[in-house]
Every structure is written in C-alpha cells, then in structure tokens.
Chains A and B, each alone.
Chain A
Amino acid sequence: MLTRRIIPCLDIHNRKVTKGVKFQNNIVLGDPVEMAARYADEGCDELVFYDITASAEGRPIDIEMVRAVAHAIRIPFAVGGGISSMDDMSRVLLAGAEKVSVNSLAVRNPGIIAEGARQFGAQCIVLGMDPVANPDRTRFPSGYEITVKGFRERTGMDAVEWARRAVDLGAGEIVVNSVDADGTRQGFELTLTRLIADAVPVPVVASGGAGCPQHLAEAFTQGHADAAIIAGMIHTGDYTIPQIKQWLTGAGIPVRQKW
C-alpha cells in the first residue's frame, strides 16, 4: 500500500535553517545539511527546502547547499522559493534535487510549468500555492484566493482554478500552504486541502499549521492529502518523526515503517 508521506520543511536563510511565523521573527535552528541528515535517519519520507538563496536579498540559488544535501541524504528532496528561471530549475535538479517547487514564478509565468515538465518530466515540477480565504464567491468560487510573495500580494486567482490549470500545464504535485494556518500549529486548513486534493488527479501535499500528530491524521483522512509538511513541531523537539509515525500507525494511517 502506498504510504502517506511526512515531509519536514526547512526554511533557509543565509545558509541556516530558520523558523518564523508569517515571515516574522526568524530564529536560527541549525545547519541545513545536518538537519536533513538527521531527519532522513529518523525516517522522514522526503524533505523540502524553501528560499534557498545565498542571502536574504534574493541573490542566486545556493547550489552548493543543494549539492551538499544531495551528498548527505538518499531520499528525495524538493527545492523551492528561489527558483526564478529554467536555468535555476536545471541547476537545482542536476545538483541532485528530486523536484523543484515554483510558486510566485508560476503565477507570473504559468508557461514555466509546461516548459519545466517538458524538459524534466512532470514528476519534477511541484506547484506551491499560498491561498487565503476570500468570501467573495463570485470572484473566487472555491472561497480561496491565491497570494504570492510570502502572502503579501493577492493575485485575483481562484485557488481551485489555478490548481487545475497548473496540472493541465504539467505540474506533477501541488503543495497547498494555507496562509491562515501557516505557523499557527493549530492544524492544517482541511477544507482548503480537501478542495484542492479532490479537484486534481495528482498528489496534493498539505502545508501550514501542523502542531501534533493528530493534525497529520486529519490532513490525510479529512483533507484527502497524500503527504503533509511539518516544521515547527519537529524543529523545536516537541515531537520526533518516529513518534509521529507511531501515532499515525496507531490511528490506522499507512506510513513507512522501516528505513
């Protein structure tokens, strides 16, 4: 049986893993390569690195870091946040990443999804989206609007329509990161996750809000997610991956048992 994936997210800032709530109060948590190796050893199923720029000023992707991670771990990982061109995609994938995640770039230039899928295969191209609740149902039939630039800009795009379009263009997976739930550790936004998961034929990853194993179980059962991103709950040491997996197994959720 295909197991549900648990994906620690490492937010990178100046070559360090950081954690903040809604892009505020970033604190340094550790070294990305060491943390990736530790989580892989503990049995995480995949990893994702965001905003992997060499500096906060949006300088080029830190390709050396991608290489170092690829040397250190033997499980798939995705890179997102700093991808601004086909050239970036190519360099990140050739450095050993399994996937690239595009978000704002795809909103500005949806063609990059098609181009990326054509050149590298749809399984490499992840669409990251940051929807926020918007009650204007005439403009946003799903009730969610896509935001970009770290939630600062609204796009006028409906979340479900965008998800469907991205898959038509060639996105092989969608990460749904709830703006409202992000960093709260109060649980994933299940309505949103399920809306997207039920609307597209490709895997959907729940993101934003994970605080305890129960939240992951909800993402898989009520949210219909295929995978879930976690961050704060393990970075702080409140939970370990084996603890989370043990709890999920007890709740009847299929997770990878041996590694």
Chain B
Amino acid sequence: MIAIIDYKAGNLTSVRLAFEALGVPARITQNAAEIRAADRVVFPGVGAAGSAMRNIRELALAEVIRETVSSGKPFLGICLGTQIILESSEEDGGTPCLGVVQGSVKRFQPTDRRDKVPQMGWNSVAIRQPHPVFAGIADHSEFYFVHSYYPAPARAADILGETEYAGVRFASAIGLRNLVATQFHPEKSGRIGLRLLDNFIRWDGTPPAGGKGAAC
C-alpha cells in the first residue's frame, strides 16, 4: 500500500489516479498509523509553505514524516511536498520547514518580463545523477511544472536533476538515501511521468551504487 499524505495542501486526486493507472492501491491519508504501515509514502501538495507547515503542525504529521524518511522506506516528495522537506522557504515572509534535506526554497525573481511567475508548463530536466526512478527516462525529458518558488539544496550531492527557468538553474529533482523529491508533477507529466512513478513503486529505497546518499 502506498500512503499519500494529505495535509490539506491542495488536490491529491491526480496523484491517486496516477497510481491507480499503474494498478497499485494508494490511499490518501492524514493518519500517522496508516502512514507508518504503508510500504512507501508520497508527500505531494500544492499551495503555500506557510499554511502547509501550519497544517502539518495541526495534524501532528512532522514526526511521522521524519520517521518515514529515516526508516529507509521509499519516500517521494512532489512540488510543495518537495519544498517543505528543506530547512526553510522564503514564502510567507520566511517559513521554517521540516529540514529533512539541507537547503532552502527561493522565489523566482525574473529579470525578463516574459518569464512569468508561476512557471507553468513543461520544462526539461537535465539528469545529474543516475537513479532508479529515472530508469528508462531520457536525459532532458520534459515534465509538468507549476510553482513560484524553487528548491535550493545546500549539497550538490543531493541534486538528481536540474531545470532552467527565469535565469536560474534549480534542483528539479532531489535524492537522498531512500528519499526522492521532484519539483515537477510526475502525476501530470503524461507517459514519462507515469514511468517515473512506476519506477518509484518498483524501487526498494536503496540509493544507486556509488552510495552518494550514504555520506551525511
């Protein structure tokens, strides 16, 4: 069973439907016991970091999220879920986040007025490190993005893929041990996104050989 963590940050239907399309049962849940019992955990979300962290506090989910990440269980962050696993976000006047991955989240500051915020649409991901979730996915494949802020991990070793927008090259995919987190939405990224999710459900949480995730 896959647990999709519901912390009242947006609509999780498409995440559930994507796993259904792969024939894997997935449950949208706010329940810590259910999250603990799951084989793998997805941490999605859209919206703002401030209210997301408030909801996580109110629902007392921070501990089970940290616990899942350190348990070795495959863990997938998506979009806002990815942002709030970092240490802090510039959003909502500065928001302390979960700090599972070192680094912060910054706002796009376009200098060219043609670069709109949010970034909305399909952009390519340059794969920086091979990873089981990218199996069968070509370098520079395009994924669907919707976001105004981007993750900036402190350690280059945690960056799996990068994307360019509004004059910055940002980490659009992060990997650390059993954790993978994408700024893009694999569940809305057509066949290629579905392939990434399929890779995720086949992955046992072991980081790729080379073990860059092992060194803290």
Q: Which residues of A contact B (CB under 8 A)?
A: 1-5, 40, 45-46, 70-71, 74-76, 93-96, 98, 120-124, 172-173, 198, 201-204, 224, 226-227, 256-259
Q: Which of A70, A226, A256 contacts B142 (CB 8 A)?
A: A256
Q: Digit string of B113-132 for contact with A (CB within 8 Å is 1, else 0)?
A: 11111111111100000000
- CB A76 to nearest CB in B, in angstroms, measures 5
Instruction: Flag whether B146 is at the interface (Cβ < 8 A).
Output: yes
Whole-angstrom distance between the Cβ of B127 and the nearest chain A Cβ: 14
| Number of A-B residue pairs at CB separation under 8 A | 99
* A258 partner residues in chain B, CB cutoff 8 A: 138, 141-142, 192
Contacts A3-B121, A172-B120 given; does A70 touch B14 at CB 8 Å:
yes
For residue B193, CB closer than 8 A to chain A, the reply is yes
Task: For the complex, give the distance between the alpha carbons of A201 and B48 in Å.
Answer: 18
Contact A121 B46 (CB under 8 A): yes
Residue B187 is within 8 A (CB to CB) of chain A in the complex: yes
Residue of B14, B146, B191, B193 near A123 (CB, 8 A) is B146
**Complexed CA–CA distance, A74 and B142 (Å):** 14
Contact of A120 among B11, B21, B114, B123 (CB under 8 A): B11
Q: Chain B residues in contact with chain A, CB under 8 A?
A: 10-11, 13-14, 17-18, 20-21, 46-48, 113-124, 138, 141-142, 144-146, 164-165, 187-194
Q: How far is the CA of A204 from the CA of B115 in the complex (A)?
A: 11
- Measured in the bound complex, the distance between the Cα atoms of B188 and A74 in whole Å is 5
**B122's contact among A74, A94, A172, A256, by CB below 8 Å, is which?**
A256
What are the residues of chain B within 8 A of A95 when measuring CB–CB?
13
- CB pair A123 B13 closer than 8 Å: no
Instruction: Give B10 Cβ to nearest chain A Cβ, in Å.
Output: 6
A98 and B14: CB pair below 8 A?
yes
Residue in chain A with minimal CB distance to B144? A76
Give B1 Cβ to nearest chain A Cβ, in Å. Answer: 20
Contact: A45 with B118, CB < 8 Å? Answer: no
Contact B17 A96 (CB under 8 A): yes
Chain B residue numbers with a CB within 8 Å of A124 are 10-11, 46
Contacting residue for A2 out of B18, B47, B122, CB 8 A: B122
Which residues does chain A contribute within 8 Å of B120, judged by CB atoms? 123, 172-173, 203, 226
In the complex, the answer to whether B18 meets A74 with C-beta atoms within 8 Å is yes
Residue of A nearest to B118 (CB): A123
Q: Residue on B with the closest CB to A227?
A: B121
Nearest-CB distance from B80 to chain A (Å)? 9
Contact, CB under 8 Å: A121 / B121: no
Q: Within the complex, what minimum Cβ distance (angstroms) separates A135 from chain B? A: 27
Assess whether B124 is in contact with A1, with CB atoms less than 8 Å apart: yes
Q: Which of A3, A40, A74 is close to B123, meaning CB atoms less than 8 Å apart?
A: A3
Asked whether, in the complex, the Cβ of A74 is within 8 Å of the Cβ of B191, the reply is: yes
Question: A2 contacts B123, CB within 8 Å?
Answer: yes
Partner of A203, one of B118, B123, B194: B118
Q: Which of B47, B114, B121, B124 contacts A45 (CB 8 A)?
A: B121
CA distance A45 to B190 in the complex (A): 9
Minimum distance in angstroms from A254 CB to a CB of chain B: 9
